[in-house]
Amino acid sequence: MSKYDVTVAEYPAKRLIGMKIKSAMAAASADCPALWDAFGPRMGELAASVSGPAGSFGVSVMLNAEDFDYWAAMEVTASAPAPQGMAAMELRAGLYAKVAVPNLEKLGEAFTYLYGAWGQEQADYVCDETAPCYEWYPANWQPSEAFEIFAAVKKR
């Protein structure tokens, strides 16, 4: 497994609007891309409400050790209405560990490193597995291109 550079910083809260599915770890490699296939053509419905840098978010909220909710979403203004078939969610402000991921193929490896090796080898922070974690994809992103993942952390 590759070693990834991890930086920890304070990030502001974000309001997102998007589409959500419930999945399990074993089904994620099919379920999550299918959600993006459904959300991608609808991203234009949020264009007038976008806040922050152009791009999109993939947000995971663990329900238990295997099951999670996964969102495909965009950051929007506080007053933006959710189009039919979409919903709003909030990412809390706080400390997050950030990892640059070279391409989509390395997503699982990067999350495994962040929640495993990195979390065990440093003394200052611990990943908050009860908080949402997210991927941030720049505008016009392609699967062969780099993106970032963020995991909420707490001081030890």
Q: What is the pLDDT of residues 62-102, one digit of tens each?
A: 999 999 999 999 999 999 999 999 999 999 999 999 999 99
pLDDT at 113: 95
Residue 7: what residue type?
A: T
Q: How many CB atoms within 10 Å of residue 9?
A: 9
Residue 1 confidence (pLDDT): 60
Percent of the chain with pLDDT over 90: 88
Count of the separate structural domains present in the chain: 1
Q: Is residue 34 part of a domain?
A: yes
**Does some domain include residue 25?**
yes
Cα separation, 23 vs 8, in Å, equals 28
Q: Is residue 1 part of a domain?
A: no
* Mean pLDDT of the region 4-23: 96
Closest CA to 74 of 89, 57, 60: 57
DSSP 8-state code for residue 76: B
State the pTM of this model.
0.94
CA 148 to chain centre: 8
Helix, strand, or coil here: 10? Answer: strand
Q: What is the CATH number of the domain that holds 144?
A: 3.20.80.10
Domain region containing 75:
6-155
What would the mean pLDDT of 102-129 be, rounded to a whole number?
Answer: 93
Residue 156 has a pLDDT of: 87
The answer to whether residue 45 sits within a structural domain is yes
